[in-house]
Amino acid sequence: MEKQAINNLDFRKIFSDTINSMTLIPLMISGGRSNVTTRCSQNMTLTDMRAQYASRVLSNIFAYKDLNSEIVLTSTTNCDNKTLNNTITCSVGPVINPVTKKKDVSTSFQEYVRSRKLRVKCRHPPEAGLEVDPPFREAVKILYNRSRVACIIQKFDEGVETSLYPPLPSLDMTNFKLLKQKAEIDITSKYIAGFVPMLNKFSLARIAKITAELWRFLLFLSQDYSHYYSSVRTLCDEHNRSHPTMHARIWMLKVILKIYDAAFAILNLKPVEYV
């Protein structure tokens, strides 16, 4: 059983402020100023692909922050980071090849895709296996737990449609004092209340750490939510008929889902709808 903790958080305000911010993020990404470009080799190596992906993420971040500095990402190893006439040039480090486990500055993206397809085909001849390579486990954990949240909300909505559950009350009419579990308080204080401040702290001075920091945030959120999911049942059943508690938890999950989707939009990721 999950531990209960002293509840001093204003859940209603935190949830409301976060929902409002998450609604604005896509608009700010599409409407903000951002000038991020890449310099890549004609061969389009794995490192070039990393530079291109990083440029899309940074473009979204700085459009959200509405910064108009010119940022150039390059895979050229002898290009130093520098600031000149409001232009920042960053060198992207080589990718660790998932197959060889070594730094790879020569394999093209197309070559890697072909070798990856052959490797998967050889390992799982008649059917897809369940084994996941270590480099991709973090991504699976994040996608999987985002899907868990979405599926619970979908099941709740279906239950409302069939009159199994009463409709979700508004934020103002929900009793958030029922969120007493330590995990609920920790998730709210660390991740829900912490997401927007983290985005607002991103700056040109920390440009090399932005993508990794956002990824770690999602990974730690997914790890903590996974523990919460295993110990706390959100939807009511024959053993738990506390609809007010369920409603408070559904609101928390709705905010978590909005954070996932806002972060995915910044990272140019598509969610997996079902698990």
Please list the rounded mean pLDDT of every run of 10 residues in the chain (275 residues).
63 97 86 73 76 84 77 63 61 76 79 69 53 73 96 96 95 96 97 95 82 94 97 82 93 98 91 71
Q: Is residue 4 part of a domain?
A: no
Q: Give the per-residue pLDDT at 253.
A: 98
CA proximity to 250, closest of 174, 141, 163, 164: 174
pLDDT of residue 78: 44
Task: Quote the pLDDT of residue 30.
Answer: 77
pLDDT of residue 12: 97
pLDDT of residue 240: 65
Q: Do the domain assignments include residue 180?
A: yes
- For 95, the enclosing helix (H) or strand (E) is strand 95-96
Q: Give the number of residues written for the chain.
A: 275
Q: What is the pLDDT of residue 102?
A: 84
Pairing of strands 35-39, 70-74: parallel
Predicted TM-score (pTM) of the model is 0.82
- Asked, for residue 1, whether it belongs to a domain, the answer is no
Between CA 140 and CA 123 the distance in angstroms is 19
Domain that holds residue 69: 11-267
CA angle 12, 15, 19 (to 5 degrees): 140
One-letter amino acid of 22:
M
Tally of structural domains, the chain: 1
pLDDT at 1: 45
The runs of H, that is alpha helices, within the chain are 11-31, 46-65, 109-123, 134-161, 182-187, 195-201, 210-231, 243-267
CA–CA gap between residue 271 and residue 24 (Å, rounded): 19
The answer as to whether 260 is a domain residue is yes
* Residue carrying the six token digits 């940074």: 58
Residue 205 belongs to some domain of the structure: yes
Per the domain annotation, does 135 fall within a domain?
Answer: yes
In a domain, 273, yes or no: no
Q: Is residue 188 part of a domain?
A: yes
pLDDT at 83: 47
For the beta sheet containing 70-74, the strands, ordered from the edge strand earlier in sequence to the opposite edge, are: 35-39, 70-74, 87-91, 82-84
Amino acid sitting at position 5: A
Which pLDDT does position 81 carry in this prediction? 47
Q: CA–CA separation, 275 vs 271, rounded Å?
A: 11
Rg of the chain taking only CA atoms, in angstroms: 22
